[in-house]
């Protein structure tokens, strides 16, 4: 029917062209290209609103966040429909030119394989963007899995195109890949190591996006922003980006602060070095001076302090140690349900370390430092009231 219709169109202009003529081939080729463009335009035009409608049912904000990925996916899928239609109807267009039809047929199959692979890769990118936009905190290394799927997609498409060009079965090409196993293992060494490491990281829940990790060997100290197949990106606190091989997180040690972030507090562990020569027993006059001090009166009003003051051999360091513990127990920024103690460490050449061990309720770094600073500023200012002094090396000005 196509031949009859074309003959009528040509005869309308007073021409008689055999079906095998070059002019007729050009007309048929032009019709095929027009059909290709029409099918591409229609598919892309109606596919984009369909995807947007589906996203509306999930989350309307995803439309804006996935716009480039949706456009890419719709464009690649729109190329598939014309290729399928032309492959099935190539004989109708070029039945009088078998040699030309075989070339067109070969080109259409390569065209179909290429855009099928691109469409699958675009679908993976689209799904990954949606998963990231939803904001799920998952231990699954989806970026690494997406890269593996795209790599497999590239390999499959390459094999199909080669089998089409060589007119061989894909199984024939796959059997020949056995001899290239060693080369492939060498070429994709980092990819294979990264894949195994990603599986181990996900199985053991060792690190996920958003975790604060420290890895001094690679200069990493910050939040994990991406766990990919071959690399892990860490944004340091100075806003620089450190890239770590994924398998290095398995072979080397690193510190993950996730446990602290998920716990009830952040640890404060710091010591004041007391000058040993300032430690001594309190006499009645010194006790009375402490009782009369307005800063210390709330402490001495407690039952514990009253019992301490009745002891005959009371040292200033013991009294200060109990005062420090009481001060921490009154602090609303300290988590009272976690370990809280004031302990002495082994004396050394710089004095007797009196260590504060507790947990702040606020785990945000800036707030944590503020809480810790206020505690030690108070203690250092209170030390002279107990006739205690910190050990400090003599500087040039003091000499």
Residue 265 and residue 347 in contact, taking contact as beta carbons nearer than 8 Å:
no
Looking at residue 95, what is its pLDDT?
58
Q: What is the pTM of this model?
A: 0.56
- Work out the number of other CB atoms within 10 angstroms of the CB of residue 50: 10
Question: How far is C-alpha 146 from the chain's CA centre?
Answer: 14
Q: Where does 263-386 sit in CATH, by number?
A: 3.30.70.100
CATH number assigned to the domain covering 168-260: 2.30.30.60
Please report the pLDDT score of residue 139 as a whole number: 55
pLDDT at 3: 47
Q: Which tokens hold the place of 62?
A: 């995803």
Q: What is the pLDDT, as a whole number, of residue 200?
A: 79
pLDDT at 166: 79
The pLDDT tens digits along the chain (399 residues) read 444 444 454 454 444 445 445 455 566 667 667 767 777 777 777 776 776 666 655 555 666 677 777 777 777 777 777 777 777 666 665 555 555 566 777 787 888 888 888 888 888 888 888 777 775 555 566 776 787 788 788 888 888 888 888 777 777 666 666 656 666 667 677 777 877 887 778 777 788 888 889 999 999 999 998 887 788 899 998 989 999 988 888 888 899 988 887 788 899 999 999 999 999 999 989 999 999 999 999 999 999 989 998 888 899 999 999 999 999 999 999 999 999 999 999 999 889 999 999 999 998 889 999 999 999 999 999 999 999 999 887 765 555
**Which pLDDT does position 22 carry in this prediction?**
47
């Amino acid at each position: 029917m196509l031949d009859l219709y074309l003959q009528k169109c040509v005869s309308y202009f007073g021409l008689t062209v055999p079906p095998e003529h070059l002019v007729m081939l050009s007309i048929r080729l032009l019709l095929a290209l027009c059909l290709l463009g029409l099918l591409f335009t229609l598919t892309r035009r109606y596919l984009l609103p369909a995807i947007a409608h589906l996203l509306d049912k999930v989350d309307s904000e995803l439309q804006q966040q996935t716009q480039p990925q949706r456009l890419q996916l719709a464009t690649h899928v729109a190329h598939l429909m014309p290729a399928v239609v032309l492959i099935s109807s190539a004989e109708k267009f070029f039945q009088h030119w078998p040699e030309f039809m075989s070339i067109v047929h070969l080109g259409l199959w390569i065209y179909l394989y290429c855009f099928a692979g691109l469409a699958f890769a675009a679908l993976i990118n689209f799904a990954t963007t949606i998963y990231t936009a939803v904001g799920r905190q998952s231990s699954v290394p989806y970026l690494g899995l997406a890269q593996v799927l795209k790599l497999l997609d590239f390999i499959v498409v390459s094999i199909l195109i080669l089998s089409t060009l060589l007119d061989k079965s894909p199984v024939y090409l796959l059997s020949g890949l056995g001899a290239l196993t060693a080369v492939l293992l060498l070429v994709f060494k980092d990819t294979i190591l990264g894949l195994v490491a990603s599986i181990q990281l996900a199985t053991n829940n060792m690190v996920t996006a958003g975790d604060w990790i420290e890895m001094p060997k690679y200069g990493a100290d910050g939040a994990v922003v991406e766990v990919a197949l071959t690399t892990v990106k860490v944004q340091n606190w100075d806003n620089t980006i450190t890239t770590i091989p994924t398998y290095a997180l398995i072979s080397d040690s690193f510190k993950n602060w996730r446990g602290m972030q998920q716990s009830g507090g952040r640890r404060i562990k710091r010591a004041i070095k007391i000058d040993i020569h300032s430690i001594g027993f309190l006499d009645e006059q010194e006790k009375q001076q402490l009782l009369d001090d307005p800063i210390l009166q709330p402490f001495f009003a407690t039952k514990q302090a009253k019992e301490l003051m009745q002891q005959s051999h009371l040292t200033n360091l013991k009294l200060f140690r109990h005062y420090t513990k009481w001060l921490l127990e009154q602090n609303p920024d300290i988590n009272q349900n976690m370990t809280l103690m004031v302990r002495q460490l082994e004396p050394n050449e710089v004095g007797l370390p009196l260590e504060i061990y507790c947990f702040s309720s606020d785990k945000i770094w800036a707030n944590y430092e503020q809480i810790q600073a206020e505690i030690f500023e108070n203690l250092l200012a209170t030390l002279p009231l107990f006739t205690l002094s910190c050990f400090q090396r003599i500087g040039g000005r003091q000499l």
